[in-house]
Amino acid sequence: MVGITYEDFLDRSYEPTADDLVCRFYVEPAADMDAEAAASRVASESSNGTWAALQVEGSVTDLSATAFDVEPTSVGGDTPGTDRREGYDVGVAYPMALFEPGSMPQVLSCIAGNILGMKAVDRIRLRDCEWPEPLATSFPGPAYGSAVRDRVFDAGDRPITATVPKPKVGLSTDQHVEVGYQAWTGGIDLLKDDENLTDQAFNPFHDRLTESLDARDRAEEETGERKSYLVNVTAPGGEMLDRVDAVAEAGGEYVMVDVVTCGWAAVQQVRERCDRHGLAIHAHRAMHAGFDRLPDHGVSMRVIAQIARLCGVDQIHTGTADLGKLANEDTAGINEWLRSDLYGLADVLPTASGGLHPGLVPELVDRLGTQLCIQAGGGIHGHPDGTHAGAKALRAAVDAAAAGEDIEAAAEREPALATAIEKWGTE
Ligand code: CAP
Ligand code: MG
């Protein structure tokens, strides 16, 4: 008989192998627990241990994780709404054999599962992962990644641009399509559905899809530029796959999926189905803040972005480097990870969105560079002269930033940009 106890999951002299998945956690032990005891419980519960010391008959494959690093650290206090908290940085190494290759739900049930609710810790956050090659390459990664820019558009080195009609929901199909047409002809590359617009009676999916793509064709003819549509296919199960097929049939290039609300198994299915048709995937991330907003608990956006890349999205929202309306976690660092080498898997094109307007573009490009999709909803449709002018203003701001030109100089040439700056300023 072999006894497996919590202590068996801690080894400070352990050196992770090249095939281990290494996870970095922020941990605050419960009041009655020291840091090492809490760390070993994290490794135990997320691999093959439980609260009781086990007596196991015969030999079992050793799939135990090892907590190998426990160092004091602190988080928070640097952004509004967060307190400075003291805890521990805990490194845990997981043997590759613990995982089912290519199954994101299974991986997450280990490393971001029960441990998030353990009484042994007051707070715990999965902050970062180092993915070993056999696990990373068991996933497809993006079909195109940032190469989608050149595949779909002829945008040179400038950021590509997107807009989401506002109000979010309520526009009829005709109204929605007209807003898209005005934005495309004003200079925007991508029309995007809002996350809570899918297939409602006031704007049914299939009508919106075909009519928007007709309008796209007209906008392409009028402008001589390539245009595309991020249509929201998010739906339960097989219906989502049917919508992917419909996009391909109608001549689309992209689908948009709300990746957290629909779940990673669904994203993996969509990736497979898109492959049949050569479609790219734009990932919206509504609900991510439920996991990543508080720096002392949950799962970081950095890890969510890693998961999305492995599952194979081509574009994902990663925030605005704090320039917009939403709280952001280290956008620049996440974008850098999305571009980093990962055993030959394609990169991901980040999308900056949420409260952006033309005047913020120079600072945004300064902080995040030009390998970007810049999305503005209110910052286009709220323009005093309407959507078309708002689109012209954003495009002029993006062209200027990409060319290293001053925004004020660009505003002298483009009155719509001057009006936008007058309304919203440049910060
Ligand atoms: C932006 C947006 C996006 C958010 C998502 C919205 O509209 O369409 O859903 O940007 O956040 O509804 O707020 P505005 P994130 O341009 O009008 O703000 O990109 O951080 O995931
Ligand atoms: Mg939205």
pLDDT at residue 3, as a whole number? 55
Distance 197 CA to ligand 1 centre (A): 13
* Residues by chain with Cβ below 5 Å of ion ligand 2: 194-195
Counting from 1 in the atom list of ligand 1, the atom nearest the Cα of 319 is 20
Ligand nearest to the CA of 377: 1
CA nearest neighbour of 326 among 375, 397, 281, 366: 375
353-384: pLDDT as tens digits:
999 999 999 999 999 999 999 999 999 999 99
Distance 354 CA to ligand 1 centre (A): 4
Q: Does the annotation mark 176 as catalytic?
A: no
Cα dihedral sign, 301-350-386-322: positive
List C-alpha distances in Å: 335 to 197, 256, 290. Answer: 27, 19, 20
pLDDT at residue 373, as a whole number? 98
In the chain, count of helices (H) and strands (E)? 17, 15
Mutate to test the pocket of ligand 1, among 161, 163, 164, 301 (most ligand atoms within 8 A of CB): 164
Place of tokens 């015969």: 58
Q: How many residues does the chain have?
A: 427
Mutate to test the pocket of ligand 1, among 190, 195, 353, 380 (most ligand atoms within 8 A of CB): 353
Low-confidence ranges of the chain (pLDDT < 50): 1
Q: Can you tell me the distance from the alpha carbon of 396 to that of 180, in angstroms, rounded to the nearest whole number?
A: 18
How big is the CA angle at 142 (ends 138 and 145), to the nearest 5 degrees? 150
pLDDT at residue 95, as a whole number? 97
- Give me the amino acid identity at 19: D
Residue with the nearest Cα to atom 13 of ligand 1?
354
Counting from 1 in the atom list of ligand 1, the atom nearest the Cα of 320 is 20
Of 284, 297, 357, 381, the catalytic one is 284
pLDDT at residue 272, as a whole number? 98
Ligand nearest to the CA of 305: 1
Q: Does the annotation mark 227 as catalytic?
A: no
**Domains along the chain?**
2-136 (3.30.70.150), 145-424 (3.20.20.110)
Identify whether the C-beta of residue 250 lies closer than 8 Å to the C-beta of residue 209: yes
Ligand nearest to the CA of 325: 1
- Give me the amino acid identity at 386: G
Q: What is the DSSP letter of 113?
A: T
pLDDT at residue 1, as a whole number? 40
Distance 283 CA to ligand 1 centre (A): 12
Report the DSSP beta bridge partners of residue 191: 163, 229
ipTM above 0.90, yes or no: yes
Distance 161 CA to ligand 1 centre (A): 14
Pocket of ligand 1 (CB under 6 A): 164, 166, 168, 194-195, 285, 317, 319, 325-326, 353-356, 376-379
Distance 171 CA to ligand 1 centre (A): 17
pLDDT at residue 82, as a whole number? 86
Distance 219 CA to ligand 2 centre (A): 23
pLDDT at residue 299, as a whole number? 98
Counting from 1 in the atom list of ligand 1, the atom nearest the Cα of 288 is 21
Residue with the nearest Cα to atom 3 of ligand 1?
354
Counting from 1 in the atom list of ligand 1, the atom nearest the Cα of 192 is 8
Residue with the nearest Cα to atom 5 of ligand 1?
354
Q: Can you tell me the distance from the alpha carbon of 251 to that of 230, in angstroms, rounded to the nearest whole number?
A: 12
Distance 376 CA to ligand 1 centre (A): 8
Mention every residue, 6+ apart, whose C-beta is less than 8 A from residue 306.
Answer: 129, 131, 337
